[in-house]
A = this chain, B = another copy of it.
Amino acid sequence: MNQDYIQPDNWSIIEEGFEKDRVESSESLFSIGNGKMGQRANFEEQYSGETFQGSYIAGVYYPDKTKVGWWKNGYPEYFAKVLNAPNWIGINIFVNGETLDLNTCIKVEDYRRELNMKEGWYQRSFVATLPNNILIRVEATRFLSLELDEVGAIDYQIELISGDATITFQPYLDSGISNMDANWEEKFWETIEVSSSENQGFIVSKTLKTEFHACTFMQSEVLLNGKKVELEYKEEKEIDKISFSYKISAEKGDVVSLQKFAGYVTDMNHDRNELIAAAKNVVSTAVSIGYRGLLQDQKDAWEKTWEMADISISGDVKAQQGIRFNIFQLNQTYSGKDERLNIGPKGFTGEKYGGSTYWDTEAYCIPFYMATKDQQVARNLLSYRYNHLDKAIENAEKLGFTNGAALYPMVTMNGEESHNEWEITFEEIHRNGAMVFAIYNYVRYTGDFDYIPEKGLEVMIAVARFWQQRATFSNDKNKFMILGVTGPNEYENNVNNNWYTNFLAKWCIEYCLETLKKVKDGHAEDYDRIFGLTNLSDGELMKWKEVSDNMYFPYSDHLEVFLQQDGFLDKELIPVENLDKKHRPINQKWSWDRILRSCYIKQADVLQGFYFFEDQFEEKELARHFDFYEPLTVHESSLSPCVHSIQAAKLGRMKQAYEFYVRTARLDLDDYNHEVKEGCHITSMAGTWMSIVEGFGGMRIVNDQLSFNPRIPEEWDAYSFKVNFRNQIVKVEVSKEKTCFNLEGTAAINILVKGKSIEVHPNSAVEV
């Protein structure tokens, strides 16, 4: 843990006291989003201290040209950058002409931030003594509307404490923004038009290269003691900025406030040539609903979300706060409404990890969305990859593969690879297996087998082809091998026979062969169509089978463990706990070569395979591998603790499972990796959800049935969660004494609890 300033609270994230060196961390933690746009918790008013400005529009990116000292063939042409979008939140404040800037105030008291997760709004309040000795109390609340998802609303209230004064609100839009992540301090947005229509302001701008067009808009209202006042205002336009100044004289004790309605419309959803008209329309709607109306809608929308997605924990407020923060952020990031979007590792909370989509989605996020949303949402996430299949085939062709073999990108915005380390892009190929695992996982959970003949099978065939072509036959060992890969443990590069990759490759081929048979039997027409479309032949299937039947797996007879890769036992195997603290985290302290030749594991690697395919291993095998690998794991990936938590729970090691849970749940709140100011770890938050549901709850799907094996950490009194299983909602409440199942649905279902089948009827609780 690197920080502990966040106040424990069941439903809110709270910071108290103004500390300049926490500003950037809090800007990440108090971020808001609505699936379509996101906003770091930057101050509305001017701030001259250290800050990391971030406003983001889903799907808008910049393809930064790949430039490396030494070009390797096949390199992607660009590296996708998440873009800081035009500023829509800005409101300059002048009190008797003096600028409000928390960095220069004489005193800042009663400073408090609250991110109310239950209702979906963010508030900052403080009492500031300005350099001119005027004392004001500020309360600024904002939210990004889930309903009107192109709109953000801000209520910026100022109470005059020390005496009468003239207050000027200057709400503005600014497209002259820059990116934190810019190699040469260049700008990525070009302003096309700055215009206004009465008290509405608009800036049309476009991204360079990608030419996304956005119209940033605003309209504001001023209130005195809660009543709207009509004021003269001064409009100012600059080359990439527009502002309106509203000046109001107030007396001691008065509360004056500005309500700003602002946001973006883009050509992803509107006619490029009619963006101002669209913006006008949107902002007028927002104004007509009004701040209070929008806020009420927001509360209602979040209530609905929580109704399904909440996990409650009693007896452990920090754990409760952690899981809600995770669920809240996941819902802020991805709504499932738009098939073109996906879940970026930092969501809308920072710029890092450039592109939008990683294998995180398939391996970690799908279970969460599958169980807490309509199953169409998970289907959309699968379709995202189906829609990118042609690009994945192209990507594989660039690397010398043929005949429709596909390699899905490591990072992508639109299906093209947009990451550019050779050891990742070219070699971290296990991601390809995750695409197929997600299909398997989805069908297993939802029973929606139709997805396979409709879309999934084509993906599975292309991936199986990849594995068959990627395998190398070793005459020396008389086995097929996969040489030159990077496993999930990215602290090793270009290794041979990463066990996880080999296992996944074999599984992908076998699952595809087995599925082909099923489709042949059950969907003969689709089978013929796909067989023809993909130019499959029985001869080719034989070649796949030869590879999957003869795959090599590194194994130590002595230790009875699968080896992470060839040569793993040649490393100096010193447990992490014996490593001097000053060397941690190793990714910040050690040079890359030292990390590579060390035994230290960034995140579950062999254990990731045990997680995905647990049915294929006995519990004592899991224990043996867990005991061998976990002590060598530094968990320097946010995706690491959750898998380990689930496995520790499965092994009944609840203390360890709980520790991992806290680490994943409060990774950002407590800043375990000392980097939260760069943004939150969104995709791993779905792993946190899994730690509870799959870890403590022990939820699995066994032969089309829900199965649970509930356990509870000693620290908790009870916890509960809901899952949407095949369109019926099962509520699970676990306490130390019992587990209670409740079904919201229409038809009774059988549930396995610790291997024993129980029947649960709609709206009638069953206790076990």
A residues apposed to B, CB below 8 Å: 66-70, 72-75, 79, 183-184, 354, 398-400, 419-424, 426-427, 472-477, 481, 483-484, 493-496, 566-567, 569-573, 587-594, 596-597
Asked if A596 and B67 make an inter-chain contact with CB atoms under 8 angstroms apart, the answer reads no
What is the distance, in angstroms, from A477's C-beta to the closest C-beta of chain B? Answer: 6
How far is it, in angstroms, between the C-alpha of A204 and the C-alpha of B3 when the chains are bound?
55
Q: Could you tell me if A400 and B472 are in contact, using CB atoms closer than 8 angstroms?
A: no
The residue from B73, B496, B571, B592 contacting A472, defined by CB atoms under 8 A apart: B571
When the two chains form their complex, are residues B591 and A426 in contact, meaning their CB atoms are under 8 A apart?
yes
CA distance A613 to B477 in the complex (A): 32
Residues of B within 8 A of A79 (CB): 69
**Quick check: A74 and B496 within 8 Å, CB to CB?**
no
- State A231–B570 Cα separation when bound (angstroms): 80
Residues of chain B within 8 A (CB-CB) of A68 are 68, 421
User: CA of A381 to CA of B427 in the docked complex: distance in angstroms?
Assistant: 40
Number of copies: 2
Nearest to A593 among chain B residues (CB) is B426
20 intermolecular pairs with C-beta atoms under 8 Å apart: A68-B68, A68-B421, A69-B354, A69-B419, A70-B424, A73-B587, A73-B589, A184-B184, A399-B594, A422-B593, A423-B423, A426-B592, A474-B571, A476-B569, A484-B593, A484-B597, A493-B493, A493-B494, A566-B566, A567-B567
Bound together, the chains give a CA A67 to CA B183 distance in angstroms of 7
Beyond A74-B591, A472-B572, A475-B573, 18 extra complex contacts between A and B, CB < 8 Å = A66-B69, A69-B419, A69-B421, A70-B424, A72-B591, A73-B587, A73-B588, A184-B184, A400-B590, A422-B592, A422-B593, A423-B423, A423-B494, A474-B569, A477-B570, A481-B570, A483-B570, A494-B596
Residues of B within 8 A of A569 (CB): 474-476
Residue of B nearest to A424 (CB): B70
B484 touches A596 (CB 8 A): yes
**Measured between C-beta atoms, what is the minimum distance from A537 to chain B in Å?**
23
A592 surroundings in chain B (CB, below 8 A): 72-75, 422, 426
Known A-B contacts A591-B398, A593-B484, A596-B494; A567 and B570 likewise in contact (beta carbons under 8 Å): no
Q: Are B567 and A400 in contact, with the CB atoms below 8 A?
A: no
Q: Is the CB of A427 within 8 A of B593?
A: yes
Given A483-B570, A496-B570, A567-B496: A591 and B472 interface contact (C-beta under 8 Å): no
In the complex, the chain B residue whose C-beta lies closest to that of A184 is B184
Tell me the bound Cα distance from A51 to B768 in angstroms. Answer: 83
- Known A69-B419, A420-B69, A493-B494: A74·B593 in contact at CB below 8 Å: yes
CA distance A184 to B67 in the complex (A): 10
- Which chain B residue has the least Cβ–Cβ distance from A427? B593
A443 to B183, CA, bound (A): 48
For A474, the chain B residues whose CB sits under 8 A away are: 569-571
**What's the minimum C-beta distance from A438 to chain B, rounded to whole angstroms?**
24
> Which of B70, B419, B588 contacts A421 (CB under 8 A)?
B70
In angstroms, Cα B597 to Cα A436, docked, is 25
Q: From A427, A571, A587, name the one whose CB has the most chain B CB atoms within 10 angstroms.
A: A571
The 10 A-B pairs of least Cβ separation, nearest first, read A74-B591, A426-B593, A72-B592, A484-B597, A483-B597, A476-B569, A474-B570, A399-B591, A494-B494, A484-B596
Cβ of A691 to closest chain B Cβ, rounded Å: 28
Cβ contacts under 8 Å, A419 to chain B: 69
CA distance A424 to B424 in the complex (A): 17
Which residues of the other chain, B, contact A587 by a CB distance below 8 angstroms?
A: 73
Q: How far is the CB of A471 from chain B (nearest CB, A)?
A: 10
A230 to chain B, nearest CB (A): 52
Q: A621 → chain B, closest Cβ, in Å?
A: 21
A591 to B566 alpha-carbon distance, docked (Å): 23
Distance in angstroms from A671 CB to nearest chain B CB is: 20
